[in-house]
Amino acid sequence: MKTKEKAEENKICPLEVAVNTISGKWKIPIVWQINEGKKRPSEFLRGIAKVDRRVLNQQLNEMVEDGILVKQSFNELPPRVEYTLTELGEKLVEILWHLNDWGKLLIPENEKV
């Protein structure tokens, strides 16, 4: 019995990995902003209410590490950085559209805009 419990503990759950990868208050709004064509951190700051620059940079870096975004730095003055979605990030956008449709089912009919 203990062997079975231990084996289950060590299994990797793809759903848990996926949720952990996109968890973070601003990650989904960042992906939406990039999908709409915004690429620079200053654009994200204007497009996402109340996000702190430090937190934004942290979440952008995490998404680069997770393979969702690519960061491109330009050798200019002032320095310029742009982010784009990777192929994995594009697949995330497709999933988010489905999740958006599912979310619509959860909103009562009289509250829909």
**pLDDT tens per residue, the chain (113 residues)?**
555 555 566 778 888 989 889 888 899 999 999 999 999 999 988 888 888 999 999 999 999 999 999 999 999 888 899 999 999 999 999 999 999 999 999 988 777 66
Whole-number pLDDT of residue 6: 55
Q: What was the pLDDT predicted at 11?
A: 79
| Predicted TM-score of the model (pTM) | 0.80
Return the pLDDT at 8: 60
Contact between residue 32 and residue 95 where contact means Cβ atoms under 8 Å apart: no
Contacts of 40 (CB under 8 A, 6+ apart): 80, 81, 82, 83
The kind and range of the H/E element at 73 are strand 69-74
Which CATH number fits the domain 23-106, given the four candidates 1.10.15.40, 3.40.50.10490, 1.10.10.10, 3.40.50.20? 1.10.10.10
Work out the end-to-end distance of the chain between its first and last CA atoms, rounded to an integer number of angstroms: 53
Confidence (pLDDT) at 112 = 67
pLDDT of residue 24: 86
State the pLDDT at residue 78: 87
Answer for the pair 68, 88: CB distance below 8 angstroms, yes or no: yes
Are 17 and 10 contacting, i.e. CB atoms less than 8 angstroms apart?
Answer: no
